[in-house]
Chain A
């Protein structure tokens, strides 16, 4: 992304073999592929001990419980949980990788806590955590006794008394909530000292070399890149630190906003130092991050909640995306098509990650991506607070409320917070809908890139042939899609349970996800360091982006609610009853 756009590489010139090692688009693919395949090599051959046995035993227990009871029993949940606990990230090498690549830690008042914690403070924190954990454990034990007692009463009645069945389901839900709180308390009780700053220096050197060496092949000085990279990385650390501050974390203000803010603050006050500019490579970082993101787009997940999920996430979302884009062109009269589609995708698909992918696919300007991210951030914070409040006030069923929030709140983390705040039932539905919607990013990026190459960027009356499409198509999008297809195939061949253990809780969470986060953060820092505030303000003139977002989101809220009601309550009520 350079001065002008978030994309690039569309020279319109015939592609040559040499471009495979001289063009940024291809290097993004190579670097992204190196990351995901190193992850595969690390995790696939080393499954956790007893993985298959635990999966088989858990599944047979759940099948037996399903045959015996008309609701999910305590034993059923324990079996499901036993399977979920088998994680690729539980191995020692995975823990070492996590420690090394980890972002700064959480803090409240002293920013040093984000980078360093001594033994004394860690012991203090651990003691406080253990106290809370003990209290949480007692609550869970009491809730479990109550759940088992209620379940026994229902069982004694042969599960024929609907009143007793409902009582048992309520008691089991209360136990699940207590267990959820206990698992979180357990983590806080594990506080240990850390010297994260030391690992961050090491990570900076490794990433500097990782991105710097290809610069030589692209005709630039790796040394100059490496020198500037230290500055860009330091601002990225600062952005992560701010997103880990407790109040900011509560409001859901993530690293993207802070990275842009700090970058712009520097560039618009003291100015971005000239020696830093060779490392201000937004496109390079973004494209590499997107290729890695391909590994997280697993098509096998779209059927997780059955047909209702497909309708709410995969039918409503494209309708809202296309309608908002047309509305932006015809009614709001957005002067920039790239800004229009970036905001439309950001609002309808899943916020920041969709904005990044779409902006890169249509070569939007960096200011346009900044604006889309800013709008998403503001609306997400508001919706995360207001939607659960509204759902509770009007007494909306939590399955419907969960589907509604999952389909409309932009940021994924905010969906989890709002869903869990309502109930475990709302969380399950909201998270599943959002996850299915997340998978749409790949398809959205591909079709936006294709539409831009064949329709938007062509001259009037020009026919765009197949070869021309190939020359102009942003190649990294192909890398992004290819990685997604390869990982989806591996995931399917492993099956959902082993796939979850080795891909979700192995390659992705243990390796690629953290690096992808760093790459996006470096990209947002670069955007900020190369953005002029006055230039950004020009894009907001007339408030058209805000009007577009607000109108699109209103339509999204109405259509998602309607579709969720039709699917979960009229067409597939049996699925709702099961959840």
Chain B
């Protein structure tokens, strides 16, 4: 950590702050933020007009599923599924038709 942290402290990437190019750099940041706004609020919602995408996204929205979760403990549906499957394996043995 010691050596790594030292490296981190010297590792400020990208252009230095201040100086004559500062205006251009801030302009670039603003342009990127404007682009982001266009993508999030204008382009991305267009995808919802594609049939299969709309079906799924409407479902996700209606059921408030966290489709962006990274681990099973973050998703409520996993708790429901685990309970049902575990109980099924333990308390649903009958194999009559």
Contact = CB atoms under 8 A, between A and B. Distances in A.
A353 B71 contact: yes
Contacts of B89: 304-306, 575, 578
A267 B8 CA distance: 13
Interface string B35-54: 00000110011011000110
Given A416-B78, A419-B77, A411 B85 contact: no
A530 B5 CA distance: 12
Interface in A10-54: 11, 22-25, 27
Contacts of A69: 94
A2 B4 contact: yes
B16 to A, nearest CB: 6
A420 B60 CA distance: 9
B67 A384 contact: yes
A389 interface: yes
Contact of B63 (A22, A70, A180, A579): A180
B75 interface: yes
Contacts of A283: 1, 4
Given A513-B73, A577-B95, A271 B85 contact: no
B25 A270 contact: yes
Contacts of B73: 296, 504, 508-509, 513
A72 B28 CA distance: 60
A296 B85 contact: no
Dominant secondary structure at the A interface: helix
Given A388-B56, A500-B83, A245 B40 contact: yes
Given A2-B8, A254-B68, A413-B74, A219 B2 contact: yes
Interface string A274-292: 1001101111100000000
Contacts of B67: 249-252, 384, 411, 413-414, 416-417
Contacts of A256: 70
B15 interface: yes
Interface residues on chain A, size class: 35 or more
Contacts of A301: 82
A274 B87 CA distance: 56
B62 to A, nearest CB: 7
Contacts of A429: 85
Contacts of A296: 71-73
Interface string A77-106: 100110110000000000000000000000
A325 to B, nearest CB: 22
Nearest to B63: A184
Given A59-B91, A268-B13, A249 B2 contact: no
A109 interface: yes
Contacts, number: 300
Main secondary structure of the interface of B (DSSP, over half): helix
Contacts of A504: 73, 79, 82
B72 A435 contact: yes
A105 B5 CA distance: 33
A424 to B, nearest CB: 8
Nearest to B77: A416
A80 B84 contact: yes
Interface string A544-579: 000000000000000000000000000000110111
Given A62-B87, A62-B91, A109-B41, A431 B70 contact: no
Contacts of A427: 77, 80-81
A428 B78 CA distance: 8
Given A247-B45, A256-B70, A428 B14 contact: no
A407 to B, nearest CB: 14
A431 B1 contact: no
A575 B93 CA distance: 9
A480 B1 CA distance: 18
A57 to B, nearest CB: 13
Nearest to A224: B9
A218 B83 CA distance: 44
Contacts of A76: 87, 91-92
A435 B78 contact: yes
A56 interface: no
B53 to A, nearest CB: 6
Contacts of B41: 109, 247
A176 B22 CA distance: 59
B78 to A, nearest CB: 5
A246 interface: yes
B65 interface: yes
Contact of A413 (B15, B68, B90): B68
A218 B29 CA distance: 35
Contacts of B57: 250-251
A385 B81 contact: no
A517 B81 contact: no
Nearest to A11: B3
Of the listed residues A8, A66, A412, A420, the one surrounded by the most CB atoms of chain B closer than 10 A to its CB is: A412
Given A76-B92, A247-B48, 8 more contacts: A3-B7, A66-B93, A242-B40, A306-B89, A428-B81, A431-B78, A438-B71, A517-B74
12 contacts: A3-B4, A27-B1, A181-B62, A253-B68, A270-B28, A273-B12, A283-B4, A384-B67, A385-B53, A413-B69, A508-B73, A574-B95
